[in-house]
Amino acid sequence: MTSFDLRHGDGLEGMGQFSDATIDLVVTSPPYNLGIAYGRYSDRQEREGYLDWCHEWATHVRRILKPAGSLFLNLGASPSNPLLPHELILRLRDVFLLQNTIHWIKAITIENEQGELVSRGHFKPISSPRYLNDCHEYIFHLTSEGHTPIDRLALGVPYADKSNIARWSHTGGSDRRCRGNTWFIPYKTISRREKDRPHPATFPVELVANCIRLHGLRDDLVMLDPFLGIGNSAVAAKRCGVKNFIGFEIDEKYLAEAKRRLAGGSCAPSHDA
């Protein structure tokens, strides 16, 4: 059973109270500085100030992470502001090493075996003579030295070509391979945002669950989300059986919603991913 410690307050200030090397895993999605209408936070900061703020909270994360800890950082962009995630990662080069870059695919169109085009997922359509619809975001896996072991096969998938099982010695005879760094995880269809997803910018529970499993589950795992929102990371922690979860949220309404979802039926296992 997961032990939860959900706190109302600023995540940056809250992390300052933690001892060094006490957290195993951080999965979070900070404000993107793209003008999103949050409740208590202004998402329109001066660019350099925003990057400095991110460097400050990332420095706290680095201090409190254990040597083999992981930070999975979800960042998005906008068609007119595509460089922001990359600028932020470059800004953090003196704090973390970028060990893996994962692409969260929200929507995709592929050709099936019958030659038909099939579209899956959800995206926000835009009408522009310059830009394509934005159907993905980044998950940056950051570690202290770039040598943190991960459980690659925790997200493994079967081989499409079964002859690969015998062809490659690393399979050990198992029909399971690394999924790779493109994860198709669509948003669930909702009826009313205010009721079903009362937050302007959430990541799916399944996305966080993937990060948890990839980092590797242990009986004593301690996980943190300094930007909790409505608690999708906490829900994922409960589903995965994380031992201890800590979350900070500055908006009282979002925090109340997170606690409601944990107390209610939002933590049942999902088969969407």
The pLDDT tens digits for 222-246 are 999 999 999 999 999 999 999 999 9
Percent of the chain with pLDDT over 90: 74
Please state, rounded to an integer, the average pLDDT across all residues of the chain: 89
The pLDDT tens digits for 1-19 are 999 999 999 999 999 999 9
Pick 269 or 161 by higher pLDDT.
Answer: 161
Domains annotated on the chain, with CATH: 3-263 (3.40.50.150)
pLDDT at 41: 47
Largest CA distance in the chain: 58
Backbone CA torsion sign across 261, 70, 104, 138: positive
Beta strand spans in 131-272 (E): 136-143, 182-184, 222-225, 244-249
CA distance 126 to 133: 6
- Is the predicted pLDDT of residue 268 greater than 50, yes or no? no
From the CB of residue 161, how many other CB atoms can be counted at a distance below 10 Å?
Answer: 7
Pick 43 or 259 by higher pLDDT.
Answer: 259
Percent of the chain with pLDDT over 70: 88
Give the mean pLDDT of 33-50. Answer: 64
pLDDT at 189: 63
pLDDT at 34: 56
CA distance 250 to 222: 21
Could you tell me the two tokens for 259? 């606690």
Give the mean pLDDT of 142-152. Answer: 97
pLDDT at 46: 83
pLDDT at 265: 60
Q: Distances from the Cα of 108 to the Cαs of 50, 117, 129, 133, in angstroms?
A: 31, 10, 21, 11
Pick 141 or 200 by higher pLDDT.
Answer: 141
Q: Distances from the Cα of 265 to the Cαs of 118, 196, 225, 261, in angstroms?
A: 32, 12, 21, 7
pLDDT at 31: 84
Give the mean pLDDT of 143-163. Answer: 95
Closest CA to 236 of 180, 185, 200: 185
Give the mean pLDDT of 81-91. Answer: 94
- Is the predicted pLDDT of residue 42 greater than 70, yes or no? no
Q: How confident is the model at residue 194 (pLDDT cuts 50, 70, 90)?
A: low
pLDDT at 23: 98
The pLDDT tens digits for 155-179 are 999 998 999 989 888 888 899 999 9
- Is the predicted pLDDT of residue 270 greater than 90, yes or no? no
CA angle 60, 36, 101 (to 5 degrees): 50
pLDDT at 44: 64
Range in 64-78, 113-127, 255-269 with the lowest mean pLDDT: 255-269
CA angle 72, 240, 187 (to 5 degrees): 65
| Residue labelled with tokens 């800890």 | 69
